[in-house]
């Protein structure tokens, strides 16, 4: 059976936005993220992280630095009872013509190719319009932006919902 999935952006949704986060020491989980992910699991969702990491292309940190943070982050989730099915990241910069850097939908298609995902019953939770655009282009119509990351141009947003925090998504995603 196709799996319904919660796609999460990383910076600004899972952890506090830091410009080009490169060290575990600077990684701070946003309040309520574990509790909310446990809730998603209880509803039968898989959780996949989809993240732009142009700091790699810009030379601010290496692929290895990124992987170290990822491994550590997954361990923290695990210790809180949460299984993250997978993480997809785009290492390219804004001038790249790759199809994975959001707002391009490539990472969602990678996830869809790898797993049998029910895109119609999946959600994207992000903090930038690029998250919404990428999800929509991949056939995910349920989109939420949270105000814990970048400033959102709310008047011009195509997000389905704009909420203060990831915790508030529990009131929206109920089945």
Binding site for Zn ion (CB under 5 A): 90, 92, 98, 100-101
Compute the residue count for the chain. 175
| CA–CA dist 71, 155 (Å, integer) | 37
Long-range contacts of 109-115, Cβ-Cβ distance < 8 Å, separation of 24 or more: 109/138, 111/5, 111/7, 111/48, 111/50, 111/86, 112/138, 114/86, 115/3, 115/5, 115/46, 115/48, 115/85, 115/86
Q: Between 4 and 89, name the residue whose CB sits nearer to Zn ion.
A: 89
Q: Between 77 and 109, name the residue whose CB sits nearer to Zn ion.
A: 109
CB of 104 to Zn ion, least distance (A): 7
Q: Between 37 and 56, name the residue whose CB sits nearer to Zn ion.
A: 56
Q: Between 31 and 63, name the residue whose CB sits nearer to Zn ion.
A: 63
CB of 69 to Zn ion, least distance (A): 18
Specify whether the CB–CB gap between 55 and 20 falls below 8 A: yes
CB of 94 to Zn ion, least distance (A): 10
CB of 16 to Zn ion, least distance (A): 24
């Amino acid at each position: 059976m196709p799996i319904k999935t919660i796609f999460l952006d990383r910076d600004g949704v899972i952890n506090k936005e830091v410009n080009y986060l490169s060290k575990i020491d600077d990684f701070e989980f946003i309040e309520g993220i574990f509790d909310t992910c446990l809730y998603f699991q209880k509803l039968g969702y898989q959780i996949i992280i989809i993240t732009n990491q142009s700091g790699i292309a810009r030379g601010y940190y290496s692929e290895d630095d990124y992987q170290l943070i990822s491994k550590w982050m997954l361990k923290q989730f695990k210790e809180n009872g949460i299984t993250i099915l997978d993480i997809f990241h785009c290492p390219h910069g804004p001038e790249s013509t790759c199809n994975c850097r959001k707002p391009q939908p490539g990472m969602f298609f990678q996830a869809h190719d790898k797993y049998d995902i029910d895109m119609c019953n999946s959600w994207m939770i992000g903090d930038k319009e690029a998250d919404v655009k990428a999800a929509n282009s991949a056939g995910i119509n349920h989109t939420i932006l949270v105000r814990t990351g970048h400033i959102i141009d709310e008047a011009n947003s195509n997000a389905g919902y704009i909420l203060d925090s990831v915790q508030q998504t529990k009131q929206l995603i109920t089945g």
